[in-house]
Amino acid sequence: MAAKIILLERQLHALRKLLFDRPGVEGAAFLLCGESRTDHAFKLIVHAVVPIASEDFLRREADGLSISSAALTRIAKLARYEGLSIIFAHSHPQGVPEFSDQDDREEERLLPFLQARVPGRAHGTLVLSEEDIRGRLYVPERVPANAITVVGQAFRSWSPHTVSMAAPFFDRQVRAFGPDIQGLLTRLHVGIVGLGGTGSPLAEQLCRLGVGHLSLFDGDRLDVTNVNRVYGSTVGDAGRFKVEIAKEHLDKIGLGTLIDVYPEHITVEETARAVRDCDVIFGCTDKELPRAILIQLALRYCIPVFDLGVLIDSRDGKISGVHGRVTTLLPGEACLFCRGRISAETIRVEALSDEDRQGQARDGYAPELEEPAPAVISFTSATASAAVSELLHRLTGFMGAERQSSEVLISFDQTRVRTNRIDPREHCVCGDESLWGRGDTYPFLDMVWATRTI
Ligand SMILES: [Zn+2]
Ligand SMILES: [Zn+2]
């Protein structure tokens, strides 16, 4: 069972400021967190950083501190009221990244208090040195955090066990990025939602890069018209689930990537719940409701989502534009609603049966059913490559620290690439900070889910 703590870059920045505000002495703060509980992983996702007032520090020294019981009672009340978990974070100004014997003794008192005041939830502790972070979760028994992950313009992860992977397969990319890249990729669990024209080359590339764990989500079966762009597929595969074809193909590569498949759309609650275990998600669906679900997962679980789109404007075989897009979704970045990429109206229309849709189209309440969209392997593959490069940049910073972008737009017909970054629009769901890091809720994602029909 993996135990992880997830926080945003801006939250880590705020936390470090509070913990290292006075040189040479320890500092402390609380983090209020959402939970993600699945059969495979337990995560605490940071919702808010809560400072401790200077009068609530009874003692702050180089090798220890103590907090007033009034401050502990207040944070416990707030957490219980909000339905959140508590992480107590403190600093080791001397640079020792491990929990000390004294920390063990303090936690033996602190954790029973938090568990009694905020029952039924996991809590945790963090210790930060200037360079390092260690964490523990109490679920309720104590487990070390396997990873503390920070997401934002850069993705960083601290782990007590560093994997040294010197497999010869990866020599050429290690020469590009340095030896750390393989450890990062091996520990990564990536979800791909949609295994068509953009999802299948993504799966191929992530597998060959050495990503440790891939989860593939797609309820569609292969149609013969998909073979022109779906990697690993053959004409003889028509009628099989796309995820099964992908797994069979990727397993043959032999690089040891663990591959889970879900032959169901993420509009099914059970399948959407499984996506929570991923560290990063690639959205490769051409439908809008799954994209809206991915936005919610990005906001509530702080899982970065790279959403891909490819659009070919063509009439009677004459192309007037070819556009590829990779949009990064995370708390603090404009989502696909704000950006006008998806709309509630299209989601409504998508949910209609063909018959209802035809009826509503006749009455002018829905657009006519469209012909299948044009799709060409060079454009879908190139957009997938741009998305993988985006992940590599966030892991390594190879495009430079000054690059602040949450969208890449490629105009293939004009050989042009642009980037942009937009703040959440006022009143859009993505600007609602009360959702950030909120984790599990009932109902799941606060959505109405269709009952499963087989
Ligand atoms: Zn300590
Ligand atoms: Zn938005």
What CATH number does residue 294 fall under?
A: 3.40.50.720
Tell me, yes or no, whether 142 and 207 share the same domain. Answer: no
Q: Is residue 403 in some structural domain?
A: yes
The radius of gyration computed from the CA coordinates of the chain, to the nearest angstrom, equals 24
Q: Is residue 451 in some structural domain?
A: no
Between the CA of 435 and the centroid of ligand 2 the distance, in Å, is: 12
Tell me, yes or no, whether 431 and 291 share the same domain. Answer: yes
The per-residue pLDDT for 353 is 86
CATH of the domain at 95: 3.40.140.10
Domain boundary among 126, 158, 190: 158
Between the CA of 108 and the centroid of ligand 1 the distance, in Å, is: 13
Q: Which helix (H) or strand (E) segment is 28 a member of? A: strand 28-37
Tell me, yes or no, whether 136 and 187 share the same domain. Answer: no
Tell me, yes or no, whether 176 and 68 share the same domain. Answer: no
Between the CA of 424 and the centroid of ligand 2 the distance, in Å, is: 5
The per-residue pLDDT for 335 is 98
Q: Is residue 452 in some structural domain?
A: no
Q: Is residue 409 in some structural domain?
A: yes
Between the CA of 337 and the centroid of ligand 2 the distance, in Å, is: 5
Tell me, yes or no, whether 203 and 328 share the same domain. Answer: yes
DSSP string, 384-399: HHHHHHHHHHHHH-TT
The model's confidence at residue 164, banded by pLDDT at 50, 70 and 90, is low
Tell me, yes or no, whether 70 and 198 share the same domain. Answer: no
Helix axis angle, 69-82 relative to 101-117, nearest 10°? 50
Q: Which ligand is nearest to the CA of 342?
A: 2
Between the CA of 93 and the centroid of ligand 1 the distance, in Å, is: 9
The per-residue pLDDT for 166 is 59
Q: Give residue-wise pLDDT tens across range 5-45.
A: 999 999 999 999 999 999 999 999 999 999 999 999 999 99
Mean pLDDT of 398-417: 96
**CA–CA separation, 235 and 40 (whole Å):** 36
**CA–CA separation, 324 and 417 (whole Å):** 9
Tell me, yes or no, whether 207 and 318 share the same domain. Answer: yes
What count of Cα atoms within 13 Å lies in the side-chain half-sphere of residue 92? 17
Tell me, yes or no, whether 142 and 185 share the same domain. Answer: no
Q: Is residue 454 in some structural domain?
A: no
Q: Give residue-wise pLDDT tens across range 351-368.
A: 888 888 889 988 888 888
Tell me, yes or no, whether 132 and 194 share the same domain. Answer: no
Does the N-terminal peptide bond of residue 160 adopt cis geometry, omega within 30 degrees of 0?
no
**Environment class of 387 (CB within 10 Å of its CB; exposed 0-12, middle 13-18, buried 19+):** buried
The model's confidence at residue 160, banded by pLDDT at 50, 70 and 90, is confident
Q: Is the pLDDT of residue 105 over 70?
A: yes
Between the CA of 343 and the centroid of ligand 2 the distance, in Å, is: 11
How many structural domains comprise the chain? 2
Between the CA of 228 and the centroid of ligand 1 the distance, in Å, is: 58
Tell me, yes or no, whether 433 and 303 share the same domain. Answer: yes
**Environment class of 86 (CB within 10 Å of its CB; exposed 0-12, middle 13-18, buried 19+):** buried
Between the CA of 192 and the centroid of ligand 2 the distance, in Å, is: 22
Q: Which two tokens stand for residue 90?
A: 């403190």
Q: Which ligand is nearest to the CA of 327?
A: 2
**Residue 121: DSSP 8-state:** S
Predicted TM-score of the model (pTM) = 0.96
Q: Give residue-wise pLDDT tens across range 50-94.
A: 999 999 999 999 989 999 999 999 999 999 999 999 999 999 998
Q: Is residue 273 in some structural domain?
A: yes
Residue ranges making up the domain that contains 141: 2-158
Between the CA of 308 and the centroid of ligand 2 the distance, in Å, is: 16
Q: Which ligand is nearest to the CA of 295?
A: 2
Domain boundary among 105, 135, 158: 158
Q: Give residue-wise pLDDT tens across range 282-322.
A: 999 999 999 999 999 999 999 999 999 999 999 989 999 99
Coil, helix or strand at residue 127:
strand
The CB density around residue 65, as the number of other CB atoms within 10 Å, is 18
For residue 233, give the nearest of 200, 263, 194 by alpha carbon. 200
16: left (phi over 0), alpha (psi -120 to 50) or beta: alpha
Q: Is the pLDDT of residue 454 over 60?
A: no
Q: Which ligand is nearest to the CA of 343?
A: 2
For residue 167, give the nearest of 87, 47, 86, 256 by alpha carbon. 256
- Ion ligand 1 — residues with CB < 5 Å: 100, 103
Domain boundary among 112, 137, 158: 158
Mean pLDDT of 90-106: 93
Q: Is residue 245 in some structural domain?
A: yes
Q: Which ligand is nearest to the CA of 129?
A: 1
Between the CA of 105 and the centroid of ligand 1 the distance, in Å, is: 10
The CB density around residue 365, as the number of other CB atoms within 10 Å, is 14
Q: Is residue 163 in some structural domain?
A: no
Tell me, yes or no, whether 135 and 276 share the same domain. Answer: no
Tell me, yes or no, whether 154 and 284 share the same domain. Answer: no
